[in-house]
């Protein structure tokens, strides 16, 4: 990750008078977003709610969210990066060749109007969704948007926030970071954490057939991963912890049924803005929690002879780049 200028959702709810959704369809994908956090919300600083807030939608097609927007900008598919780069130049009054604008699907007047509105905002927030971060250019697009937002702070307050999917993906990312320094795509095969997405990400390890066992918690790769990865999961001993029967549990050698998180198992979930929320179970389950199972496996492993060499001294990593 490069830089990121962001906030928790409560700041948006209290203060954002200018809200951009870029490459997302909140009206259908996050139906409570408008009323809980953004345009419909009244606050001490924005007492008239919707009337005090401006909403801009940037997307390749006119979704239901466009009806809620004050301004809808239909960007040509695959031209997000170009549009973001032009906006970065325009906010700084750098010359932009008029010929470069039509390929984005928008006009100079529309962009000038957007720049004027962004600079006039007291507190702007850009939410960016899968439509931006998962299309061609992927992380280049998100990086360009994050840079635009950072640079807007020379003129007014501006923040950016990704619209993440569901589940506790953020929680896994947060904890891996504090224990290993990296969010995902980590290997411990030399006894310490190393990071290389594309090489050590689960899907790459499976497709190459590099691992000789798989232990899966809270995920269903059997439903989403490419066929060669699934084939490898079938070949090796795959162990799944899941409250439900899933694609992965069907192909696994062992499926341990566990109590569902948040419903019958306590813990912490991290929201998309990385706020930790406690999970307080409402029901009791006859099944053990994921945590119980992992602790019992760890205890059993501790009883076995230790397998790593006993050379304990830390060492400097200098050879790697």
What residues make contact with another protein under the rule CB under 8 A?
1-11, 13-15, 36-37, 43-45, 122-123, 150, 153-154, 156-157, 159, 174-175, 177-183, 188, 190-193, 195, 268, 270, 274-278, 280, 306, 308, 310-318, 320-321
DSSP state of 265: B
47 or 286: whose CB is closer to another protein? 47
166 or 315: whose CB is closer to another protein? 315
Say which residues have a Cβ less than 8 Å from residue 96's Cβ, sequence separation at least 6: 86, 89, 90
Q: Which residue has the tokens 């809620």?
A: 68
Residue 175 burial class via C-beta count within 10 angstroms: exposed 0-12, middle 13-18, buried 19 and up = middle
In the complex, the smallest distance separating the C-beta of residue 210 from another protein, rounded to whole angstroms, is 19
Answer left, alpha or beta for residue 103, where phi above 0 means left and psi between -120 and 50 means alpha. alpha
DSSP state of 128: E
- CA torsion sign for 37, 41, 47, 51 is positive
> How far apart are the C-alpha atoms of 265 and 259, rounded to whole Å?
6
The alpha carbons of the chain give a radius of gyration, in whole angstroms, of 23
In the complex, the smallest distance separating the C-beta of residue 164 from another protein, rounded to whole angstroms, is 15
94 or 98: whose CB is closer to another protein? 94
> How far apart are the C-alpha atoms of 246 and 229, rounded to whole Å?
16
In the complex, the smallest distance separating the C-beta of residue 92 from another protein, rounded to whole angstroms, is 13
38 or 104: whose CB is closer to another protein? 38
In the complex, the smallest distance separating the C-beta of residue 250 from another protein, rounded to whole angstroms, is 33
In the complex, the smallest distance separating the C-beta of residue 302 from another protein, rounded to whole angstroms, is 9
Cα-flanking dihedrals φ and ψ of residue 209, to 5°? 75, 30
69 or 159: whose CB is closer to another protein? 159
The 10 Å Cβ neighbour count of residue 153 is: 12
In the complex, the smallest distance separating the C-beta of residue 314 from another protein, rounded to whole angstroms, is 5
43 or 257: whose CB is closer to another protein? 43
85 or 257: whose CB is closer to another protein? 85
In the complex, the smallest distance separating the C-beta of residue 145 from another protein, rounded to whole angstroms, is 14
Query: Which among 169, 257, 160, 255 has a CA at the least distance from the CA of 214?
Result: 255
């Amino acid at each position: 990750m490069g830089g990121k200028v962001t906030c928790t959702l409560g700041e948006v709810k209290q203060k954002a008078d200018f809200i951009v959704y870029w490459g997302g369809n909140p009206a259908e994908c996050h139906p409570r977003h408008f009323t809980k956090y953004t345009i419909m919300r009244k606050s001490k600083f924005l007492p008239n709610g919707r009337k005090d807030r401006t909403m801009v939608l940037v997307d390749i097609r006119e979704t239901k969210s466009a009806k809620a927007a004050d301004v809808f900008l239909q960007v040509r598919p695959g031209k997000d990066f170009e549009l973001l780069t032009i906006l970065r130049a325009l906010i700084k009054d750098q010359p932009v060749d008029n010929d470069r604008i039509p390929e984005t699907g928008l006009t100079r007047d529309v962009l000038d109007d957007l720049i004027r509105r962004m600079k006039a905002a007291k507190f702007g927030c850009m939410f960016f969704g899968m439509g931006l971060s998962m299309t061609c250019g992927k992380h280049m697009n998100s990086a360009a948007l994050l840079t635009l937002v950072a640079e807007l702070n020379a003129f007014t307050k501006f923040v950016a926030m990704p619209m993440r999917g569901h589940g506790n993906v953020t929680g896994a990312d947060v904890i891996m970071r504090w224990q290993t320094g990296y969010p995902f795509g980590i290997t411990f095969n030399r006894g310490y954490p190393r990071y290389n997405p594309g090489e050590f990400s689960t899907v790459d390890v499976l497709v190459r057939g590099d691992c000789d066992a798989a232990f899966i918690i809270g995920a269903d790769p059997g439903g989403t991963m490419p066929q060669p990865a699934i084939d490898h999961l079938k070949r090796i001993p795959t162990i799944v912890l899941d409250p439900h029967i899933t694609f992965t549990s069907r192909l696994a050698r062992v499926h341990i049924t566990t109590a569902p998180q948040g419903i019958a198992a306590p813990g912490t979930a991290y929201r998309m803005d990385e706020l930790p929320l406690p999970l307080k179970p409402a029901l009791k389950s006859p099944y053990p929690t994921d945590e119980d199972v992992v602790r019992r496996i760890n205890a059993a492993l501790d009883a076995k002879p230790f397998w790593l060499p006993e050379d304990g001294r830390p060492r400097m990593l200098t050879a790697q780049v």
